[in-house]
C-alpha cells in the first residue's frame, strides 16, 4: 500500500489526542476504559490492524477535541503498554509521549486470591499491585503475592 493510500485510511485530525501503537486488537478495550460509546459529540476514529514498522500490526484511536487525564493514560498503559499518546493542536503533534505502566497500581484491579486481605469484608484494605514483568505484563499482589496476568488485567479493567 502506498503512503498516500495509508493516509486516506487514517486522516489527520485538527485538535485532540491520537493514541498510537496500541497492540493490534486492543483498540476497543481502550475505548471501553475511556467510556467512549460513540454517542459523543466529537469525532472518533478507530483504526485496527494497520501495518506498523515497529509492531507488525497495530491499532490507533483518534479522539477529536478530547484530552486524557493521567489516570486514563495509566489505565491505557495496563491495556496497551506500547501505546504512544500524541497531543494534536491545529494539525500538529505538539506533544508525544509513551504511556508508562505505573510502578504501584492501587484500587484498580482486584486480587484473584479469595483469601487475600484485600478481599476480606471486615478489613477494608485497598488492592495494591506491583509490576513483576512488563512484557508480558504480570502484576503481583503486594499483600499475598498472587500474580495476575495481562489477559485477566484487561478483563477486569474492561469488564468483558
Ligand atoms: N496524527 C493525526 N493528526 C494530526 C497529526 C498526527 O491523526 N494532525 C496522527 C498520525 O496519523 C500518527 C500519530 O498521530 O498516527 C503520530 O503522528 P506523527 O508523529 O506525525 O507520526 P509518526 O512520526 O509516524 O509517529 P511515531 O514516530 O510515534 O510512530
Ligand atoms: Zn492478594
| 158, 150 Cβ separation under 8 angstroms | no
Question: How high is the pLDDT of residue 7?
Answer: 64
Where does residue 142 fall: left (phi above 0), alpha (psi -120 to 50 degrees), or beta otherwise?
Answer: alpha
For the stretch 18-39, pLDDT in tens is: 999 999 999 999 999 999 998 9
pLDDT of 4 strictly over 80: no
Cell numbers found for residue 109: 484491579
Ligand 1 proximity of 63 Cβ (cutoff 6 Å)? no
- Ligand 1 mutation target, pool 55, 93, 97, most atoms within 8 A of CB: 93
Q: Which of 38-42, 59-63, 112-116, 139-143 has the lowest mean pLDDT?
A: 38-42
Question: Rounded distance, CA 40 to CA 136, Å?
Answer: 33
Model's pTM, two decimal places? 0.93
pLDDT of 5 higher than 70: no
- Of residues 150 and 121, the one with the higher pLDDT is 150
Q: For residue 3, what pLDDT is reported? A: 66
Q: Is the pLDDT of residue 90 over 90?
A: yes
The C-alpha cell that represents 155 in the structure block? 478483563
Find the 60 Cα to ligand 2 centroid distance in Å.
34
Predicted pLDDT of residue 54: 85
Residue 36: closest CA among 74, 2, 65, 10: 65
- Reported as a single tens digit per residue, the pLDDT across 92-130 is 999 999 999 999 999 999 999 999 999 998 877 999 999
Amino acid at each position: 500500500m502506498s503512503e498516500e493510500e495509508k493516509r486516506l485510511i487514517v486522516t489527520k485530525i485538527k485538535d485532540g489526542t491520537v493514541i498510537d501503537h496500541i497492540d493490534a486488537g486492543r483498540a476497543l478495550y481502550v475505548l471501553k476504559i475511556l467510556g467512549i460509546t460513540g454517542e459523543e459529540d466529537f469525532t472518533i476514529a478507530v483504526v485496527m490492524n494497520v501495518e506498523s514498522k515497529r509492531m507488525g500490526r497495530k491499532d490507533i484511536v483518534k479522539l477529536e477535541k478530547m484530552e486524557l487525564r493521567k489516570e486514563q493514560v495509566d489505565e491505557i498503559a495496563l491495556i496497551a503498554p506500547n501505546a504512544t499518546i500524541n497531543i494534536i493542536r491545529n494539525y500538529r503533534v505538539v506533544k508525544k509521549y509513551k504511556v508508562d505502566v505505573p510502578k504501584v497500581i492501587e484500587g484498580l484491579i482486584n486480587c484473584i486470591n479469595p483469601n487475600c486481605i484485600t478481599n476480606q469484608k471486615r478489613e477494608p484494605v485497598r488492592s495494591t499491585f506491583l509490576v513483576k514483568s512488563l512484557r508480558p505484563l504480570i502484576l503481583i499482589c503486594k499483600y499475598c503475592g498472587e500474580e495476575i496476568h495481562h489477559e485477566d488485567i484487561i478483563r477486569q479493567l474492561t469488564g468483558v
